[in-house]
Amino acid sequence: MIDLEVPKKFVPLVKQASSLADEVFRPISRKYDLAEHEYPRELDLTSALIDGLSDSGASQGAGASGSTRAAEVEDKKPAGVGSGRNTKGNGGNKNGANLSSVLSIMQTCRGDVGLTLSIPRQGLGNAAIAAVANDEQKERYGNRWAAMAITEPDTGSDSGAIRTTAEKDGDEYVLNGEKIFVTSGERADLVVVWATLDRSLGKKAIKSFVVERSNPGLKLVRLEHKLGIRSSDTAAFHLDSCRVPANDLLGDPEIRTEGGFGGAMQTFDNTRPLVASMACGLTRACLDTTTELLAKAGVTPDVDAPLHSQSYAAARLVQMEADFEAAYLLTLRAAWMADNGKPNSMQASMAKAKAGRTCVNVALACVELAGATGYAETELLEKWARDSKILDIFEGTQQIQLLVVARRLLELSSSQLK
């Protein structure tokens, strides 16, 4: 039987993440939205708290750095999300780093998405390292902050069309190319760069490399001015004869072009549930705030009454709550599957697609329902509406997620269904 409650061992983590959202993130949210590119110093305390949780073992992976695919599951029998029991002797159910990361990020994004993305050592690159690095690399990169560089000026959703090259030269690789929209690119210690070993081989030759932010060949071109998540820095880089040690190629140090892209793509199986959880957190914030504002105006939805018997505002809230629940459950499923070593590419894309689109629709609807209050800076609703759009775009657009799901359902390859 599936237990949909938060696992008991994660309850303290979720409560602390919720407190961070309410007591730290929301009070400074508007400040750093206006002071774009200024580093939020208040986050140093937050990162210290997360480090303390991780060191104590209480967090089971509080954030992106803890998110990793279960390397080994003792019993493959299906169980379900929520019991919080150990793997042994319970039918193989494991609630681990992926689920705890999703649950904690969902709470912090209820406070602010941009600030969550700005927490040191919790970058999407950390999730990439956790997904495909070998044990030695995971130990070496430790608690360092890693950004992820995939997108290029001519390559957005089609990661297989990456033009950045990596050419072997002795014990090093030489990287050349451009990367844009790198979240936390300026602030991070490391940047996980996707590059191709041989353009003629297409997707199969793509690998990911860990590049020191201080590497002289990794040149910061600019920081982007954005619609939303302004407290998070978004960088553009030029890689000019950027030399990287061969052992900084993520995963198996031997170059095997067969299946190479599949290894790199495992990154998304970890990061897409994380982005879905960000969308769920922001959706929850919008719904809670709008429900409170409408209650003050005398509008209270009744989940037991037919929608047609209620006001438009009340009925709309009920419908949006249903959409949130669907996104939430899809996100938990994708994370739980990763914890239990189950292939979750389709489920990760389902979660990302549903949560991203739900977040945008709910955020805009809440601005509308709140009227002038929703559009003004007296509430955070207008900011959340701006922040929401990126969650439907990065880590694979809405359209790409639906394409991935369609390929999996129809059992077609990328060349058969484009």
Q: The domain that contains 95 carries what CATH number? A: 1.10.540.10
Based on the fold, state whether residues 272 and 378 are members of the same structural domain: yes
Number of domains in the chain: 3
| Same structural domain, 314 and 230 | no
Say yes or no to pLDDT of 64 above 70: no
272 plus 393 within the same structural domain: yes
The verdict on residue 415 lying in a domain is no
From 86, 120, 141, the end of a domain falls on 141
243 and 207, same structural domain? yes
CATH number of the domain at 238, please: 2.40.110.10
Look at residue 66 and tell me if it is in a domain: yes
Whether 395 is a known active-site residue: answer: yes
Q: pLDDT digit string (tens) for 305-323?
A: 999 999 999 999 999 999 9
Q: Is 56 exposed, middle or buried (0-12, 13-18, 19+ CB in 10 A)?
A: exposed
Q: Give the CA distances from residue 216 to residues 158, 190, 237, 240, 250, in Å, rounded to whole numbers and listed in that order.
A: 28, 13, 11, 9, 20
Residue 277 sits in the same domain as residue 163:
no
Query: Both 295 and 400 in a single domain?
Result: yes
- Residue 310 corresponds to which amino acid? Q
Which pLDDT band holds residue 9 (cuts at 50, 70, 90)? Answer: very high
Residues 231 and 349 in one domain: no
Q: What is the pLDDT of residue 55?
A: 54
Instruction: Give the pLDDT band (50/70/90) at residue 83.
Output: very low
d(CA 379, CA 363): 13
Report, as an integer, the average pLDDT of 402-414: 94
Q: Is residue 128 part of a domain?
A: yes
CA distance 196 to 317: 47
Domain end call among 141, 156, 191:
141
Is residue 167 classed as helix, strand or coil in its secondary structure? Answer: strand
Would you state the pLDDT for residue 251? 78
Q: Pick the range with the lowest mean pLDDT from 123-137, 228-242, 301-315, 333-347.
A: 123-137
Judgement on whether residues 136 and 89 belong to the same structural domain of the protein = yes
Point out the catalytic residue in the list 72, 292, 395, 411. 395
The pLDDT confidence band at residue 260, using thresholds 50, 70 and 90, is low
Range of the domain at 319: 260-410
For the segment 163-203, what is each residue's pLDDT rounded down to a tens digit?
A: 999 999 999 999 999 999 999 999 999 999 999 998 888 78
φ/ψ bin of 364: left (φ > 0), alpha (ψ from -120 to 50), beta (otherwise)? alpha
Average pLDDT over residues 47-69: 58
Contacts of 79 (CB under 8 A, 6+ apart): 2, 90, 91, 92, 93, 340
Return d(Cα 201, Cα 203) in angstroms, integer.
7
Work out the burial of residue 222: count CB atoms within 10 Å of its CB; fewer than 13 is exposed, 13-18 middle, 19 or more buried: exposed
Burial of 145 (0-12, 13-18, 19+ CB in 10 A): buried
